Chains A and B, each alone.
Chain A
Amino acid sequence: MISWLDKIIYKKEIKDNKVIVGEVTQTKKSNRFLICLFKGILVFIATFCSICGLLDAFNIEYNRAIIILAFAFFSFYVSFLYYNKIIFYVFYIILFIGFTVELARYYMPANSGFQAIINIIFKDYSDYFALASIREGYETIANRYFTVTVAALFLGAFTAILLNVTISGYMNAFETALVTFPYIEIALFIHKIPSAAYLFGLLFVYTCVVFLQFSRHSRMQVKGKRTHEFLRMKLRKEDRYAYQADIPVFLYSFAFSFVIALVIIILLKAPLNMPIPKIPGNSIHKQTQEYVKILVQNGVGGFFDSYASTGGLSGGRLGGVAQVRPDFETDIEVTFVPINYDTIYLKGYTGTTYQSSGWYPNPLDVTFIEDEREYNFGNTAKMQVKEVDVDSRFDYRPYFSSTDNLEYISLEDNIYQITYNPILSEADYEKPVEDELLLNEDYYSYVYESCLTVPDTLKPVLDDTLKEIDPVDSDDINQYRLNCAKAVYSYFFENFSYTMAPGRTAYKRDFVEYFLTHQKRGFCAHFASATALLLREMGVPARYCEGYCIPISLIYEDAIMTDNNFDEWYSGKQDIDLPSVLEVPVNDSYAHAWVEIYLEGYGFVPFEATIPSFDDDTSDLSFLSFNFFSAITSNTLNFEEFGTTTNPNNNNNGGFSINKIFDIFNFNTANVRVTVMRIFAIFIGAGLLYLLIRFLIIRIKLAWYRKNNDEYHLVIYEYSKLSAMLKRKGFLKKDNPLPMDVKEAYDLYLVNYNNRHKKQKNVDTAALFEHYEKVMYS
C-alpha cells in the first residue's frame, strides 16, 4: 500500500489514471547491516586519513591507538544511525547530547589542544612565509600530547558526523572532498606532503564515493522518507523510482577503488616529493598567500575592514582595512607637461597629529603660511586637474605650489589649474637660504613642536626600533635629516616587506606599534606613518601626506596628447624629449602615502618611505622612487645613493597589460607543468597502446581462425565488421539488425559507392549473405 504522503503527491494521477507505481522490492535483498558497515568503513577511512594526515604532516604527536579506536567508534556509530528510523532519531539525539556534554567536560584540554594544533601549524606557516610573528593561541594545559589527542577526538567526531551526512546520507563525492580535503590542503599548501598511506586512504574513499554516487544504488534514506529501500521522485513528464542501496555495488566499488588508488599512489610517489619554490608564480596563488599570511598573523579578525577600502585617499585613517582593494577607476585627470622621468606627486592631505586611529591636521592650521614660500628652479609649469571620482574636500597640488596658485576653471566639474615649480633632475639650484617662515612663531612651533610630537605610549616601541637604526652622522642638518630618513628606509628595506594585504590592525592595538612589532608587512600608509614617527623620535620634523602619484610608466601607457599650446603650459628646461601637453587619467591604484621632511631652506619636501615590492603585483607601488631627492641631492646635497630615478623601461605599473592576463599561467614551477603534461602523455600513450594491442589481438585471432579453418568465427568477424561499417556510414540504422537488414543496407551502400566511383564494386550480396547465414546458424 502506498503512504498517505504519496497519496497527496500523486493525487492527480490517482484521480485521472487510477494507478500509481508502488514500492518496488527485490528478491535478493541487500543486508542493511552490511551496508551500514561498508559506509562506516568509508567514514572511518576518510576521517582518519584527513585528520591524522594533517597531524602527521606537521609532526604533531598524539596517541594513535586511542585515536584509531575512537574514530572507528564514531564512524560506525554514525553510519549505523541509518539502520532504521528509531535508531536514527534516538541515537542522533544521544550523539549530540553526548558530544555537547563531553565537549563541556573536556573543554579545557580540547581547547588547549586545538590551540596547540593551530600554534604548531601557524609556526610552520610562519617559517614557510618568513613572517615576523604569528597570532599565537593561549594553551592553558602544557601537555600537548594529551591535549592534542583530546582535540583530535572532538575534531574526529565532528568530521565523522559531517561525513556521515555526505557519505551515508547523500553519497556525494564533492561534499565528501569538501569536508576532508581542507585538512590535507592545510599541509599541502605549504608543500608538506602527508604520508602516502593517508593520501592512499583518501583516494580510495573519493574513488569509492564517485562510483557509489553514480551507481545510484548506495543511499539509504531514513529521514523524511517512508521507506528505507525505495525512492520515488516526480520529474516533469516522468515518474522516477530507484531501488536504493545494493551490497554488490559496494563490493565492486571497494575492489575497483582499492586497485585504482594503489596504482595512482605507486605511479605518483616521485612527483609528490618534487621541490617547489616558495614564491608563487601567479597572482591568484600570490593573493591566496596574502590572505593566509593575514590569517596566520592577525587571525580571522584581520580580514574584516572597519571602513571601506576601495583605493583612493583614506584621509589619514589608519589600520582599519585588511587589504587595499583599488577599483582601478579613474579618480583624477591630470593635464601637464612632463619634464623628466621622475614620479609626480599630487598632495591632497597632510596629517600632523598622530593618534592610534590615524593622522589628523594640526589643531592650529598654519600650513597656509607655507603658501608664502617661493621656489625658483628656473622654470614654471601649469597643471590642470579634473576631479572625476575623488574626495572633494582636498585639492591635489604638485610640488612645489601654493594654494594661491590654484585657480578653478569650472566649479561644477571640479576642474582647476595650478601654476607650480617642478624640480628638474639636473638643474643647477641655488644653495638653500634661511627659511623666513620660521620667523613666524606659530609656524616655528608647528615645525619644531607639532611635527616632532610622538605619543608617549609609542616612545618605548620607537626607541626599541631605533636601537637597530644607525644614521650616518653629519654636521649639515639637512644632510643629517636625510641620513636619518635613509637609515629608516634601509631598516625597513632589510627587515620588512611590502604587501597590499597586511591584515587589519588587531583590536586595541596601536597602528604603528602593531606594524613595527608584530606585522612587519604593510603598504604605503604603514611605512609612511612609521617613518614619520621614527624620524620625529630622532628629532627630524616630519609629517604624513596622502595624495596621488604619477609614474612615468603611466604617462607612457595611458597619456593622451592634447592640443594645448606647449609654451603656455611650461617654460624652462626639459629632461625628457616629450614637448607636448599630455592628459593622464589617474586611477585609485595610484593613491599613495608618503612622508614630508622639513629641510632647512627648502621647507617640507617629500620623502618616499615605502619600500619596493619584490612581487610583480599589479597594484603595488614598488615603482616609486626618491625623485625629489634625485633632483635635490644630486645638485645641492650630493646624496647620490638616493638618486634612483624611475627607469621608463621598467614596466611595473598599475596599468592594464594583456600579458597580465596570462600571468596565472606563468609558472615558476615548471615541474608541475611537466608532471601534468606527463600525465596527459601517459593517458594518450595508454589509449594508443590499447588500440594497438586491440588491433594486434584481432589480427592474431584472425590468423588463428584461418589456420584452424574456423569458418564460423571468420564469418562472425566479417559480418560484424561489415555491420559496423554500414552503421558508421549511416546505411544501417536499426539497433539490432537482422542479416536481411544488413544485406539491404549493403546493397544500398554498393549502389551508392558504384555511382560515386569509377572503380566498381561487384559483390554478389545474395550469395554472400546466404553463406553468412548458413555458417552463422549452422
Chain B
Amino acid sequence: MKINILTLVAYIFAIAVISALALIYEQPAIVLFILMLFILIPISLIVFFNVSDKFTFTLSPVSEYVEEPNSPAFIIEYKNAARIGLFACDVVFTAENSFYPNTVKHRLSIPLTRKTNSFTIPIDSFDIGLVTINIEKFVLHDYLSIFRKEIPVSLESSVPILPKERNIGDFPPAVPKDGPDEFTESENIGNISSDVKEIREYRPGDRLQRIHWKLSAKLDDLFVKEMAHTSSLAIILVPELCKDEIHDTAESLLSCIKIMYEKKERFEVCIYNDIACDYTFFTVTDEAGMLEAMTHFYCQPLYEGRENALNTYIHSSGKIATVIHIIGKTIKISE
C-alpha cells in the first residue's frame, strides 16, 4: 500500500488551517469540522484494508476482428467479493497498433462500487493493424484518495482491424501455360491430399485443423499433422510488408484470400519476417484461417524494400507452386 503524499499533505494542511482558525477565533463549533476531517481517514482506511484485496479483473475483446473503418473494443470486467465497494480504481494500460508502436500510458478511472460490472473501452483506430491493449496494473484508491494499492497484472488482448475488401477483378489469374515445370508436373494440382506425411510438435502459427487431437490427448501435448501435399501447392500468396504501401498490400491480400477461399481454391499465404529472414505458411480454407493469416501478417515488422519477401521465398523455398506477389495494389504472378 502506498500513500499519495500530495493528497495527504493537502488534507493535513486543510486540517491545520481549520484548526488554526478554530484556535485563533476561539470557536468550538469549528472543531466539529476538524473532527469530521479526522474521522474520515480511519473510516476510509479500515474499509480500504478490508476490501482492496477482494477484486478480480478480466479483459476480453468485444469481437475477434473488425473491418475498417470500425474500431475494436475491449471489455474490462471486475468482480467484488466484498460487501462494500471502492470508489475509484485506475486501470493503467497501453493501447497500440502493431504497425505504429507507442508507449503512451493511459489511465482509466472507474468506480468499483458494485458486485460486478464491466466497462467497454473502444480503441479508435485510424489505420489497419493489430490493435492490442495491455493492462499493466490496477491502482485501487481509498475513499479519500490518500492511500492506494497497486495490483500489477499482465492482461493482454488483441483485435485485428481488417481492411475493406477491394475488387481485384478476375482472380486467381489464369496460370500461364508455359509456367514453371514444377507446377505443370505436379500430381496434385488443385487437390488437397489427406495423406499425412509426418507428425511433429505444435508450433505457434499452426492451424487448429492440423492438430492431431487423438495423439495430443494421449501424449498430453499438442501434435500437428504435416500433410503430404504441402510440398506441391497450387498457389502461394507472397505479400510484401512494404512500409509505404502496407494498407494497400493488406487490402489486396485480404481480397485475394477471400476470393480464393470462397472459390475453394487451394493456396497458402507466405508471411515473411524481415528481421528473422524467415517466413511462415498459412493454409486458408475459411474465415478463421484468413483471420489467423492476417493477424500474423500484422505482427510482422515493416520494411522499406519492395521484393524482400519474394526474393527470400524464391531463393530458399523448395515448394512448387505459382507464386503471386502482392505489393500495394499490384498483384502479379512471379516467374
Contacts and interface: CB of A to CB of B under 8 A. Distances in A.
B87 A217 contact: yes
Contacts of B34: 676, 679
Interface magnitude class on chain B? 35 or more
Interface stretch (A257-265, A356-364, A577-585): A257-265
Interface stretch (B107-115, B185-193, B310-318): B107-115
Interface residues of chain A: helix, strand, loop or mixed (majority): helix
Contacts of B123: 19-22
Given A24-B119, A669-B26, A676-B19, A19 B87 contact: no
Contacts of A669: 26
Contacts of B105: 237-239
Contacts of A184: 29
Contacts of A28: 114, 117
Interface centre among A19, A261, A263, A264 (most CB of B within 10 A): A19
Contacts of A667: 23, 26
A671 interface: yes
A249 B117 CA distance: 14
Given A1-B124, A260-B39, A21 B95 contact: yes
B109 A217 contact: yes
B109 A216 contact: yes
Given A22-B71, A216-B88, A252-B85, A206 B33 contact: yes
Contact of A24 (B84, B121, B145): B121
B102 interface: yes
B196 interface: no
B33 A679 contact: no
Contacts of A221: none
Given A260-B43, A276-B26, A238 B107 contact: yes
B109 A242 contact: yes
Contact of B87 (A17, A215, A671): A215
B23 A243 contact: no
Contacts of B38: 679, 683
Interface of B is mostly: mixed
A17 B37 CA distance: 44
A687 B41 CA distance: 12
Contact of A675 (B24, B28, B144): B28
Interface string A267-296: 110011010100011101100100000000
Interface stretch (A85-93, A186-194, A305-313, A367-375): A186-194
Interface stretch (B126-134, B209-217, B301-309, B325-333): B126-134
A268 B96 contact: no
Contacts of B85: 248, 252
A683 B87 CA distance: 25
A188 B104 CA distance: 52
Nearest to A289: B25
A360 to B, nearest CB: 43
A733 interface: no
Interface string B139-151: 0010111000011
A21 to B, nearest CB: 5
A546 interface: no
A24 B120 contact: yes
B19 to A, nearest CB: 7
Nearest to A13: B104
B157 interface: no
Contact of B129 (A18, A24, A25): A18
A242 to B, nearest CB: 4
A372 to B, nearest CB: 57
Most chain B beta-carbon neighbours within 10 Å: one of A22, A184, A664, A665: A22
B35 interface: yes
B88 A21 contact: no
A724 interface: no
B27 interface: yes
Given A207-B40, A263-B39, A25 B120 contact: yes
A582 B39 CA distance: 60
Given A18-B125, A217-B111, A672-B22, A211 B143 contact: yes
B24 A664 contact: yes
A261 B36 contact: yes
Contacts of B119: 24-27, 243
Contacts of B25: 189, 285, 288
A189 B27 CA distance: 7
Contacts of B36: 203, 206-207, 210, 260-261, 264
Nearest to B75: A27
Given A210-B144, A249-B113, A26 B118 contact: yes
Nearest to A674: B28
Contacts of A24: 108, 110, 119-122
Contact of A265 (B32, B107, B125, B152): B32
B106 interface: yes
Contacts of B22: 672, 676
Nearest to B10: A174
A193 B29 contact: yes
B289 to A, nearest CB: 26
A243 B118 contact: no
A363 B23 CA distance: 55
Contacts of A256: 43, 143
19 contacts: A18-B129, A19-B102, A21-B106, A24-B108, A24-B110, A24-B122, A27-B118, A199-B29, A210-B37, A214-B87, A214-B88, A216-B109, A238-B104, A239-B105, A243-B108, A268-B28, A282-B24, A285-B26, A676-B31
